[in-house]
Structure 1
Amino acid sequence: MRRTPDDTRTEEEKTEPTETFCVRTLDVKSHTVCDLTLPYNDIDDVRAHIDQVASNLTRINTIEEANYFKQNADLLQNHKTSFTDSALIPPITELKDFYMTDPISRASLTMAKCVKAVEEQLKSRHT
């Protein structure tokens, strides 16, 4: 296996099909190794592409109006559910044995004693 002076791969490695994930960079060598041609030649090309994809990232020192309120108003107009002033009541208001929901607490003798003490306190008429 002979190495070429301009490449770190051997002749055998060059002929074998590879499935290598390459990071998209401006490095010419990575283009050659990955057999990938990027549409960018310099940093200005990268910035132009960013401006096409996400122009808000290239507008520096400008203040843009947020459209959240308009978007929310549009969504509410299409909403079919009616809203009331009544309080929201969750289906479960108390989770019994909350501290015994994970395996470490269930295996703990101290936690078992604590749960037993709480249950006895709840049964007591002095609460």
Structure 2
Amino acid sequence: MEEQSKACPQKVTKIWTAQQLPLIKRLGITTIPESVVNEVVHSISIFDTYYGAGRNVDNDHGGFLLLYTDFPESRKSFQPVLSRYHVSLDDAEFQNIIHRTETVVWYSELYLISSDYAIIIIYPTRKER
């Protein structure tokens, strides 16, 4: 479930059903703010409600969420995953700040692959001073 690649070396976990939410605890729940966990749970519950908890992420409708637990080098590190779906960084439907402290900002980005498939990317960044 954890995806690691040379093009995207940061720790990232692919989640597509609520059955996988216990993964968050193993990822270090103490380092992931509660508001971020709540956003993950909310997003995944939408996938399960509308597309079914038993769906095959690669063959069925719905989509998945990528949760970065380390700081990505840049948003460009998302491109290898997005390219598999013929989408670019500029295609994000929206970017939302879901948690902010003095030093870290957590973002959520939504990419619509089709009318029935989406990728949500949640990641932290260091806040510029």
Same fold (TM > 0.5): no
- Going by fraction, where is strand more abundant, 1 or 2? 2
TM-score by length of 2: 0.20
Query: Which has the higher Rg, Structure 1 or Structure 2?
Result: 1
- Going by fraction, where is helix more abundant, 1 or 2? 1
Higher relative contact order (CA 8 A, sep 6+): 2
